[in-house]
Structure 1
Amino acid sequence: MKKAVALKYDYAGAPKVTAKGEGFIARRILEIAEEHDVMLHHSPELVEMLSTVELGEEIPESLYLAVAEIIAFAHNLKNHRWS
């Protein structure tokens, strides 16, 4: 069954899990992200690890590097897309 996790990073502290779910909920998370032009990243292994984090909680330190690389990639992509 497909899973999805949404993160929010406001540059204060670590990113937080703002939504997560399987099946229908996962599809809705992805639909809402697409409706709001949020970048999506496909990594079943990372989603599996992030899905253990409680809603509203910061990601664990062990995932900082993986998530930071995704955020940096998205940031660079956004800057190139709008320039």
Structure 2
Amino acid sequence: MADKQDKTKTAVALAYEPGDQAPKILASGKGAVAEKIIQQAKEADVPFYQDSALASTLSKLEIGDAIPPELYEVVAQILVFVDGMDKVRAKLGDKPIGSGR
């Protein structure tokens, strides 16, 4: 019998403030909680990035935990992507991603 993969939606919100050593887990949840996190991000114009493997790994951390050093590079790449999207939207005259926070 083949193993069923867990298809439950997982969402993790990260926060990074200048002076923080690393981004921190702001919110995390599965199923209906994940849907709520995603909906609130959309409503606040906060960008989100889909990576189920990364979300699964990050969801094992507690709220307020800093991401571990082994995830710095992948999370940094996501933050660079988001920053680039903000710059593109600014050039196009749109409100920057995440400015609704």
TM band (smaller chain)? over 0.9
**How big is the shift at 1:10?**
1.0
- In structure 1, give the amino acid aligned to 2:57: M
Partner in structure 2 of residue 36 of structure 1: 44
User: How far off is 1:79 after superposition?
Assistant: 1.1
Counterparts in 2 of 1:45-56, with a 5 A limit?
45-56=53-64
Greater C-alpha Rg = 2
1:62 aligns with 2:82: no
Equivalent residue number for residue 16 of structure 1: 24
- Structure 1 runs of 4+ aligned residues shifted over 3 Å read none
The alignment's C-alpha RMSD in Å is: 0.7
User: Normalised by the size of structure 2, how large is the TM-score?
Assistant: 0.80
What letter corresponds to residue 32 of structure 1 in structure 2? Answer: Q
Higher helix share: 1
Unaligned 5+ segments in structure 1 are: none
SS at match of 2:80: helix
TM-score, normalising length: structure 1: 0.96
Question: Alpha-carbon deviation of 1:11?
Answer: 2.7
